[in-house]
A and B are shown apart, each in its own frame.
Chain A
Amino acid sequence: MSLPMATPDTDIDLWLNQQTDKSLLRFLTCGSVDDGKSTLIGRLLYDSQLILDDQLASLRKESHNRITGDEGIDFSLLVDGLAAEREQGITIDVAYRFFSTDKRKFIVADTPGHEQYTRNMATGASNADLALVLIDARKGVLTQTRRHSFILSLIGVKHVVLVVNKIDLVDYDQAVFDRIVAEYRAFAEPLGFKTLAAVPVSALRGDNILAPSANTPWYEGVALVPYLESIDVSEDRTAEKFRFPVQWVNRPDLDFRGFSGTVASGSIAVGDEVLIASSRKPAAVRRIVTMDGDLDRAVAGQAVTLVVDREVDISRGDVLSRPGETPEFSNQFQARLIWMNEESAFPGRSYLLKVGSQLVPATITDLKFRTNVNTLEQTAATKIDLNEVATVTIATDKPIAFDPYTANALTGGFILVDRLSNATLGAGTIEFGLRRAQNLTYQSFDVNRGVRAQMKGQAARIVWFTGLSGSGKSSIANLLEKRLTAEGRHAYILDGDNVRHGLNKDLGFTEAARVENIRRVAEVARLMADAGLIVLVSFISPFEKERRLAREIAGDIDFAEIYVDTPLEVCEARDPKGLYKRARAGEIKNFTGIDSPFEAPQAPELVLHGGEQEPAALADELHGWLKL
Chain B
Amino acid sequence: MTTGALTHLQSLEAESIEILREVAASFERPVMMYSIGKDSSVLLHLARKAFFPSRIPFPLLHVNTTWKFREMIAFRDSMAEKYGFDLISHTNPDGIRDNINPFDQGSSRFTDIMKTQALRQALNAGRYDAAIGGARRDEEKSRAKERIFSHRNANHAWDPKNQRPELWRVFNTRLNPGESMRVFPISNWTELDVWTYIYSEGIELPSLYYAKSRPVVDRSGTLIMVDDDRFRFEPGEAPRQEVVRFRTLGDYPLTGAIRSTAATLPEIIMEMQASRTSEREGRLIDSDSVGSMEKKKQEGYF
Distance from B122 Cβ to chain A, minimum over Cβ atoms (Å): 24
- B163 / chain A contacts, CB cutoff of 8 Å: 93
Q: Does B207 contact A (CB under 8 A)?
A: no
Determine which of A23, A97, A424 lies in contact with B165 in the assembled complex, contact meaning CB atoms within 8 Å: A424
Residue on A with the closest CB to B273? A8
Distance from B14 Cβ to chain A, minimum over Cβ atoms (Å): 4
Known: A250-B54, A260-B50. A84 touches B168 (CB 8 A): no
Determine which of B138, B168, B270 lies in contact with A98 in the assembled complex, contact meaning CB atoms within 8 Å: B138
Residue on A with the closest CB to B293? A81
Asked whether A236 lies within 8 Å of B4 as measured between CB atoms, the reply is: yes
Residue on B with the closest CB to A354? B170
Within the assembled complex, what's the spacing in Å between the Cα atoms of A123 and B148?
12
- B138 / chain A contacts, CB cutoff of 8 Å: 97-98
**Those of B13-58 within 8 Å (CB) of chain A:** 13-14, 17-18, 21-22, 24-25, 48-55
Asked whether A410 lies within 8 Å of B168 as measured between CB atoms, the reply is: yes
Asked whether A81 lies within 8 Å of B278 as measured between CB atoms, the reply is: no
Q: Does A389 contact B (CB under 8 A)?
A: no
Within the assembled complex, what's the spacing in Å between the Cα atoms of A94 and B163?
10
Known: A8-B274, A19-B196, A262-B18. A237 touches B5 (CB 8 A): yes
Asked whether B145 lies within 8 Å of A82 as measured between CB atoms, the reply is: yes
Asked whether B55 lies within 8 Å of A415 as measured between CB atoms, the reply is: no
Within the assembled complex, what's the spacing in Å between the Cα atoms of A421 and B176?
7
**Those of A28-79 within 8 Å (CB) of chain B:** 52-55, 58, 62, 78-79
- A237 / chain B contacts, CB cutoff of 8 Å: 3-5
Select the stretch in B100-108, B109-117, B184-192, B222-230 that faces chain A.
B184-192
Within the assembled complex, what's the spacing in Å between the Cα atoms of A24 and B5?
12
Task: Give per-residue flags for A292-334: 1 if the beta carbon is below 8 A from chain B beta carbons, else 0.
Answer: 1000000111110100000000001000000000000000000
Q: Does B166 contact A (CB under 8 A)?
A: yes
Asked whether A24 lies within 8 Å of B11 as measured between CB atoms, the reply is: yes
Q: Does A86 contact B (CB under 8 A)?
A: yes
Determine which of B166, B196, B274 lies in contact with A20 in the assembled complex, contact meaning CB atoms within 8 Å: B196
Q: Does B160 contact A (CB under 8 A)?
A: yes
- A510 / chain B contacts, CB cutoff of 8 Å: none
Residue on B with the closest CB to A93? B145
Asked whether B52 lies within 8 Å of A417 as measured between CB atoms, the reply is: no
Asked whether B25 lies within 8 Å of A417 as measured between CB atoms, the reply is: no
Within the assembled complex, what's the spacing in Å between the Cα atoms of A120 and B55?
37
Within the assembled complex, what's the spacing in Å between the Cα atoms of A52 and B2?
28
**Those of A263-307 within 8 Å (CB) of chain B:** 289-292, 299-303, 305
Task: Give per-residue flags for B155-177: 1 if the beta carbon is below 8 A from chain A beta carbons, else 0.
Answer: 00000110111111110101110
Within the assembled complex, what's the spacing in Å between the Cα atoms of A12 and B295?
40
Q: Does B242 contact A (CB under 8 A)?
A: no
- B51 / chain A contacts, CB cutoff of 8 Å: 248, 250, 260
Determine which of A21, A84, A340 lies in contact with B161 in the assembled complex, contact meaning CB atoms within 8 Å: A84
Asked whether B18 lies within 8 Å of A303 as measured between CB atoms, the reply is: yes
Within the assembled complex, what's the spacing in Å between the Cα atoms of A98 and B138?
7
Q: Does B259 contact A (CB under 8 A)?
A: no
Within the assembled complex, what's the spacing in Å between the Cα atoms of A137 and B172?
39
Asked whether B161 lies within 8 Å of A92 as measured between CB atoms, the reply is: yes
Within the assembled complex, what's the spacing in Å between the Cα atoms of A122 and B164?
12
Q: Does B82 contact A (CB under 8 A)?
A: no
Determine which of A80, A97, A129, A417 lies in contact with B172 in the assembled complex, contact meaning CB atoms within 8 Å: A417
Asked whether A96 lies within 8 Å of B290 as measured between CB atoms, the reply is: no
Q: For chain A, give the interface size range.
A: 35 or more
Task: Give per-residue flags for B198-209: 1 if the beta carbon is below 8 A from chain A beta carbons, else 0.
Answer: 011000000000
Q: Does A252 contact B (CB under 8 A)?
A: yes
Within the assembled complex, what's the spacing in Å between the Cα atoms of A565 and B7?
63
Give the A-B contact count at a CB cut-off of 8 A.
212
Q: Does A355 contact B (CB under 8 A)?
A: yes
- A107 / chain B contacts, CB cutoff of 8 Å: 188
Which of A25, A55, A128 counts the most chain B CB atoms within 10 A? A55
Q: Does B291 contact A (CB under 8 A)?
A: yes
Within the assembled complex, what's the spacing in Å between the Cα atoms of A120 and B53?
38
Task: Give per-residue flags for B249-292: 1 if the beta carbon is below 8 A from chain A beta carbons, else 0.
Answer: 00000000000000000100110011111100100000000110
Asked whether B278 lies within 8 Å of A54 as measured between CB atoms, the reply is: yes
Residue on B with the closest CB to A53? B276
Asked whether B21 lies within 8 Å of A248 as measured between CB atoms, the reply is: yes
- B152 / chain A contacts, CB cutoff of 8 Å: none
Q: Does B299 contact A (CB under 8 A)?
A: no
- A95 / chain B contacts, CB cutoff of 8 Å: 137, 141, 144-145
Within the assembled complex, what's the spacing in Å between the Cα atoms of A52 and B25?
40
Asked whether A305 lies within 8 Å of B52 as measured between CB atoms, the reply is: yes
Task: Give per-residue flags for B52-77: 1 if the beta carbon is below 8 A from chain A beta carbons, else 0.
Answer: 11110000000000000000000000
Q: Does A6 contact B (CB under 8 A)?
A: yes
- A55 / chain B contacts, CB cutoff of 8 Å: 278
Interface set of A (CB-CB < 8 Å, partner B): 5-6, 8, 12, 15-16, 19-26, 52-55, 58, 62, 78-84, 86, 92-98, 105, 107, 119-120, 122-123, 126-129, 233-238, 247-248, 250-252, 256, 258, 260-262, 289-292, 299-303, 305, 316, 340, 352, 354-357, 409-410, 413-415, 417, 421-424, 427
A/B interface sample: 28 pairs, CB < 8 A? A12-B266, A20-B9, A23-B2, A80-B141, A82-B141, A82-B294, A92-B161, A93-B145, A95-B145, A96-B145, A96-B187, A107-B188, A128-B1, A234-B2, A238-B3, A299-B5, A300-B3, A301-B3, A301-B10, A303-B17, A355-B170, A409-B1, A410-B168, A413-B167, A413-B168, A413-B170, A415-B170, A427-B167
Given A81-B143, A291-B49, 6 other A-B residues pairs in contact with their CB atoms under 8 A: A12-B266, A12-B269, A81-B145, A93-B161, A126-B168, A409-B168
Q: Which 8 A-B pairs have the closest CB atoms?
A: A81-B141, A12-B266, A83-B291, A301-B3, A422-B174, A291-B52, A252-B54, A303-B17
